Amino acid sequence: MPSAQPVPSSSARAVAWVLRAGLAIQAGALLWFARRQGTEVGSALFMHAGWSETSSARVDLGLAGAGAAAALLLLVTPRRRALQLAAAACLALVFAVHAALRIGLRGDAFAHLAPAAQAVRWLGPLALPWLLPELSPAQHRRGRRLLALAVAATFTAHGLEALAHHPRFCDLLLGAARRLFDLRLTQSSAEAVLTAIGVLDLAVAAALVLRPRPAVALWAALWGTLTLASRTVSLGPDFFHESALRSMNAAAPLALGLALLSSRREPTP
Amino acid sequence: MIASLLTLLLAIPVQADGASDPLTDLSEFTERFTALEGTHPAQWRVVWTEEPQTRATLSWTTAEPGTDHRVLYDTRPLGAERFEFEAPAARSGAYTRSDKDQQAPTYFHHVRLAGLEPSTRVRFVVESDGVRSPELWFETAPDDQRSIALLVGGDSRSGTRARAHIHTAIADLAEADASVLAFSHGGDFVMFGDRFDNWSSWLTHFELCTGPSGRVLPILPTRGNHDWGPLFDEVFDAPGGAQRNTYRTRLSPHASLLTLNSNISVGGDQLLWLEQTLEQAAADSTFLIPNYHRALYPAVKLPGDALPFWPPVFDRFRVDLALESDGHVMKRTVAIRDGEPHADGVVYIGEGGLGVPQRRPLQDPWYLAEPGFARPAHHLIRLDFEAELCTVEFLEVEIAPSAADPIRYEQVVSPGAEWAWELGPAETASWTAPGFDDSAWSRGPAGFGYGDADDATVLLEMEDAFEELRIRHSFEGDGLTGGLALFCSYDDAFVATLNGTEVARGGFDGERVGSHEARGFERFPLRDWRDLLIEGPDVLCITGFNSSKRSSDFSLHPALCTDRPSDAPDAATRTVSADRFTLSAKTR
């Protein structure tokens, strides 16, 4: 009976570094948000719990800083799994708190979908410790499953929002059409496109859960890149941080696609 | 920290309307609120959208559904409660309730009046199954060049005490000046837009906008991001169309107010509507004023998604002023055109101060350079239109002290009194005794603390080093009568003794220091205090506890008062002019 062989390390390293890069960018963006205007954490403490603005901002910045420190740890200790695990858990917790508070604050349309829509941000980090190059194919399979679940959750939430013609998505389409093509789409046209996008997103999510294929994951990565870029393209360079915060929308499916590709070279037991 | 955040997440729905919070103390207003009972009309309001010269929607709430809802009205002084005309409710129904709603089923009624005359006082009562409201009145908008004024503001979703005071300020301004036509609310009425208990609280407090003469100032509502769900349309009779909520109000030939909705698509149908409506308004109105919730030139947050879409249209039609909310500060920008300062550009004002706690504004944006400004202040903005001029006046609203504020009582130990203080645990239990020698201790005025920028004696050396602060103050208790109470704003806990015997504590169960944020003074009546007084100076000692040495802040702000009212303060709300500028009509 053949024993399990390590997957080719260059591919596995690429998977891990793609994830680390995505996590570092999103953590940096969160820190920028916390410093510039505050995040859900500051709002919850100041507006709901009655804390002073100074204390709220400190906790907000502290939590975002913890996330940034964890991301830095991921970058500088790539070979130490215990530290990678601890840092990934810390990042996951930081972003899970933010996603959960979105439900509590309910200041946005579709806020109830935030934990699913942001699954790549908080569930994605947890996949990294299972996708480190030195681990076994079985551990990598677990990591791929977790990553697929995170990407699928994000695509499901965004698909549902698109089907419901999320006004922000509509404006991203309208704005991108104006900026890129000098084309003034009607709202009904944009909503028709959103319906098609919603169906496609749900199909991608289903495929990733039921039968993950590299092509589907790489399509998800391409789409994730386009959607995060649409913030800057449609709204202008002032909104670059909005794109940066969504870096895992591209990095998570890209890492999944690379992991699925390299898994094809794994020996079958 | 994580644990406390998760606890907070679970506690949010409870915290939103914390009744024991001094910031929500409404004791001086409760007698003025109409109880929701049976079919007794309560929570009345007059809603304006389009054609305020001839139309208005009169709305109210009842606790029971009833069967016969109408408005009796007249424009002539026929005598008390005599009316020639009546109009039945065009729409009645149950307010939508969420599963978290703490409010019993409650019912809305809307009567739509049409065919009114401009500049006319309309006397009315609302009636449900024969039960009437008090006699009320409003005035329709003019259709001539007479001077008019509009009050604007936004963000009343929390800070209910400040909100109630601002509503009384609105009533005072309307009673004092007949040229004040209406009140435009820039959105975020409530914290959770799908909960009628939140809306019911706001609607009840909105009754305070009714002046002593019965004048009801018409409201022009704007949907904010917290006002999601069907209740906004149920409360205001779907202003500008259900869910769409965009409309133009031509207040007079002087000005058109365009109410926009920053919660729906801003670059699609709404943008088309904005362009078409501005074109119409430019032809019949001197001043063009869009009003929307999410700020495009914000003083606190990042710009709203409408930034690439709306300002170019404002520039094209040479809009004068744009009213913004959402940031929780008071702000005015420089005049802006094509994204740059321009003498002939649009001035963006507002950002919301109708009750919500105010935030620190950004320091660096170019658009807040002088004459622009931004600072935290509960406020209203008054727009006066006269001839070819529009005067913008920022009215800072000074909130009267609450019943838990020592300023309202005869003070025995004032909030800024000097105390002896020492950090760290006591070396001897006798430190609370009257004869203890505290001459070696430091001295400073109350309040004590660090990390929250509100302390008279700042204890930076306490952070990371001490969990306890002990303070002592001697006073003469001879001749005190009536009740005595300790007033304390604290973070995280305290124990107070009088001549060595414990008389009050907060946030401390004897073993564990809890987590308590200082939210203003809280009142702790002292029992049996007369038995504790001694011959000679009495001594009040307080130990303040922090939950951890590493805590980011600490507060101990004490005062000792009798229960007799002081001479100095009253419960009135004052408005103070904080800034003022005038715009001339633009040539279009």
What tens-digit pLDDT sequence spans chain B (588 residues)?
Answer: 444 455 455 444 433 333 345 567 787 788 889 999 999 999 999 999 999 999 999 999 999 999 999 999 999 887 777 899 999 999 999 999 988 887 789 999 999 999 999 999 999 999 999 999 999 999 999 999 999 999 999 999 988 989 999 999 999 999 999 999 999 999 999 999 999 999 999 999 999 999 999 999 999 999 999 999 999 999 999 999 999 999 999 999 999 999 999 999 999 999 999 999 999 999 999 999 999 999 999 999 999 999 999 999 999 999 999 999 999 999 999 999 999 999 999 999 999 999 999 999 998 899 999 999 999 999 999 999 998 999 999 999 987 777 778 887 889 999 999 999 999 999 888 999 999 999 999 999 999 999 877 899 999 999 999 999 999 999 998 888 888 999 999 999 999 999 999 999 999 988 888 888 887 888 899 988 989 999 889 999 999 999 999 888 899 999 999 988 877 655 566 788 889 999 999 987
- CB-based contact (8 Å) between A222 and chain B? no
Q: Exposed, middle or buried, B266 (CB in 10 Å: 0-12/13-18/19+)? A: buried
Contact B412, B560 (CB under 8 A): yes
Give how far B468 is from chain A: nearest CA, Å: 19
**Alpha carbon B175 to chain centroid, angstroms:** 20
Rounded distance, CA A246 to CA A169, Å? Answer: 14
Paired tokens of B200 = 């019911």
Query: Which residues does residue B347 pair with via DSSP β-bridges, in sequence order?
Result: B321, B335
Residues 6 or more apart whose Cβ sits within 8 Å of residue B192: A106, B13, B16, B98, B100, B198, B226
Which of A46, A63, A100 lies nearest to residue B357, judging by beta carbons?
Answer: A46
Residues 6 or more apart whose Cβ sits within 8 Å of residue B419: B443, B444, B445, B446, B448, B471, B472, B473
Pairing outcome for strands B448-450 and B457-458:
parallel
Give how far A101 is from chain B: nearest CA, Å: 6
Tally of CA atoms within 13 A in the half-sphere of A103 that contains its CB: 16
Paired tokens of B395 = 């009215």
Which of A36, A171, A190 lies nearest to residue B305, judging by beta carbons?
Answer: A171
Rounded distance, CA B193 to CA B245, Å? Answer: 15
Give how far A175 is from chain B: nearest CA, Å: 7
Greatest alpha-carbon pair distance for chain A in Å reads: 65
- CB-based contact (8 Å) between A35 and chain B? no
Phi, psi at B220, each rounded to 5°: -110, 100
Name the nearest CA neighbour of B47 among B220, B256, B271, B184: B220
Q: List CB contacts (< 8 A) between A100 and chain B.
A: 6, 9
Rounded distance, CA B348 to CA B350, Å? Answer: 7
Minimum CA–CA partner of B261 in chain A:
A167
- CB-based contact (8 Å) between A50 and chain B? yes
Give how far A39 is from chain B: nearest CA, Å: 10
Q: List CB contacts (< 8 A) between A48 and chain B.
A: 8, 12, 15-16, 158, 191
Contact A167 B18 (CB under 8 A): no
Rounded distance, CA B307 to CA B163, Å? Answer: 29
Contact A100 B9 (CB under 8 A): yes
Give how far B181 is from chain A: nearest CA, Å: 31
Q: Exposed, middle or buried, A250 (CB in 10 Å: 0-12/13-18/19+)? A: buried
Contact A235 B307 (CB under 8 A): yes
Phi and psi based region of residue B449 (left: phi greater than 0; alpha: psi -120 to 50; beta: remaining): left
Contact B19, B190 (CB under 8 A): no
Residues 6 or more apart whose Cβ sits within 8 Å of residue B175: B211, B212, B213, B215
Contact B267 A37 (CB under 8 A): no
Residues 6 or more apart whose Cβ sits within 8 Å of residue B369: B334, B341
Minimum CA–CA partner of A50 in chain B:
B519
Residue type, B446: A
Rounded distance, CA B327 to CA B533, Å? Answer: 51
pTM attached to this predicted model: 0.84
**Best of A51, A91, A110, A240 to mutate (most B CBs within 10 Å, chain B):** A51
Contact B451 A55 (CB under 8 A): yes
Give how far B6 is from chain A: nearest CA, Å: 7
